Amino acid sequence: MTEELRRRVRDFLAAHPFTPRCDSWAGSYDLDFSRELGKAGLLAVSWPERLGGGGGTAVDRLVVTEELLRAGAPLAAHWVGERQIGPTLLRHGSPELQEEFCPPLARAECTFALGMSEPDAGSDLASLRTSAVRDGDGWRITGRKIWTSGAHRASHLYVLARTSREADRHDGLTEFVVALDSPGITVTPILDLRGEHHFNEVVLDEVAVPGRWAIGRVGEGWRQVVGQLAFERGGPERFLSTYPLLSAVLAAGLVDDTARRGLRALAARLQILRAWVLETAQVLDAGGSPVVPAATSKYLGHEFELSVIDWARPLMPRATPAVRALYDQALAASPASGIRGGAAPVMLSMIARDN
C-alpha cells in the first residue's frame, strides 16, 4: 500500500502543476488544488470509507503528506480540517457529527480554522475566556480568538470555549464547530511582518451554535484537546516546511565542499525525524495519543528547519531568483515556526515533565 500510495501522490503532483513554496501547508492556499486531491482520494486516506476516507492508516497519511510537503504543494486550504478536525471528530464526535462533517472535509468542500488562542490565552490555553451558554437545545458563544490562521477563507471554525466554571480550570471546557458565516461573527485581518494576511482576530458575539455541534462530551474539552495536539504537532510538516529549499539547492548544483559536509548531518537528522514521526503515526493507529512524542518532533523539527536555513545561507549569493525566493520564504516563516502550535520552551517543559 505504502509504495503504491507514494507513486499515486507523485503521479498526481506531475499532473497538477503548481509553484513550489516553503511552508506550503500554512502559507500556500489553493482550494481547487485541495479539491483535486480530494477527488483523487489523497485526502483523509486514514478515515473510514463510509465517512469519505480512504480506509487506510495514519502511516498511509504520513506517506501522502511527506510527498506533498517535500514538493512544496499548496496545502493550506484543507490542512487544519484534514489534519486535526476530522481526526478529532472521528475520536470524539457523535456519529451524526461525523456524518455531517467528515465526507465534506475529505473533499475539501468544508474547510476549518482553529479557534484556540485568545489575547490572554496562548501557551496557557486553559485560561481562555470565550464562553458558551445554553440556549434551548443549542448554545450561544461569545468571545475573542486571535492569530486564527485562515479564518477569512475557511467555512467553519473549531472553537474551544468555557461551558462552566469549575474548581480546576481544566474542567468545564467544551469543543465546538461554528459556521463562520453565522450572524455575530466578525473576522478582522492581522497582517504579519511581511504585510501578508494569514492571521485574523475572530470576535464571536452571542453566536448561535446547534447542540449537535458540540464535539464529544460537554465539559471534557481539555482532555479531548490535549489528544488533538498530537495530530497538530506530530506530523512531518514540523520539519519538511524547508525541504523545497533543500531540494532546490541540490538541484541547482549549489553545494560546495563545506555545504556537502553540512548536508550529511542534515540528511542524518532528517532520517531520525522521519523515523520519529513514523512511530508517532503507528501509536495513532493503535488508538493512542502520543502527546509528548508529538511535542518532541515539533521542537526538534523547528531546530532542523533553522539548520536548513543556516546551511543554505552562504550559498544564496550564487542562487537563482527562484531558489532565493524559497530561501526568503523559509526565513520569513522561521520565527513563527517555533511558536505556532505551541512555543518551543513550552514543548521543552512538557518533555522534561514527562521524564
Ligand X SMILES: Cc1cc2nc3c(=O)[nH]c(=O)nc-3n(C[C@H](O)[C@H](O)[C@H](O)COP(=O)(O)OP(=O)(O)OC[C@H]3O[C@@H](n4cnc5c(N)ncnc54)[C@H](O)[C@@H]3O)c2cc1C
Residues 6 or more apart in contact with residue 196 via CB below 8 angstroms? 27
Single out the catalytic residue among 82, 175, 232, 237: 232
If the CB atoms of residues 2 and 349 are measured against ligand X, the closer one turns out to be 349
Q: Is 345 in the site for ligand X (CB under 6 A)?
A: yes
Indicate which single residue of 83, 156, 162, 340 sits in contact with ligand X (rule: CB under 6 A). Answer: 340
Q: Is 82 a catalytic residue?
A: no
Total Cβ atoms within 10 A of residue 274: 16
Beta strands 197-209 and 185-191, pairing class = antiparallel
If the CB atoms of residues 52 and 143 are measured against ligand X, the closer one turns out to be 143
Residues 44/3, Cβ–Cβ less than 8 Å: no
Residues 118/162, Cβ–Cβ less than 8 Å: no
CA separation for the pair 178, 326 (Å, rounded): 35
Residues 6 or more apart in contact with residue 249 via CB below 8 angstroms? 255, 259, 312, 315, 319, 323
The site map against ligand X for 107-146 (x = CB under 6 A) is ------xxxxx----xx-----------------------
Residue in 337, 263, 272, 276 with CA at minimum distance from that of residue 303: 337
Residues 6 or more apart in contact with residue 236 via CB below 8 angstroms? 62, 65, 66, 69, 273, 274, 277
If the CB atoms of residues 86 and 115 are measured against ligand X, the closer one turns out to be 115
What is the smallest separation between the CB atom of 146 and ligand X, expressed in angstroms?
A: 7
If the CB atoms of residues 190 and 267 are measured against ligand X, the closer one turns out to be 190
CA separation for the pair 296, 273 (Å, rounded): 10
Indicate which single residue of 149, 289, 329, 334 sits in contact with ligand X (rule: CB under 6 A). Answer: 149
Binding footprint of ligand X, residue count (CB under 6 A): 18
What is the smallest separation between the CB atom of 117 and ligand X, expressed in angstroms?
A: 3
Return the range that interacts with ligand X (CB under 6 A); candidates 135-143, 176-184, 274-282, 332-340: 332-340
Return residues touching ligand X (CB under 6 A).
Answer: 113-117, 122-123, 147-149, 336, 339-340, 342-343, 345-346, 349
Residues noted as catalytic: 232
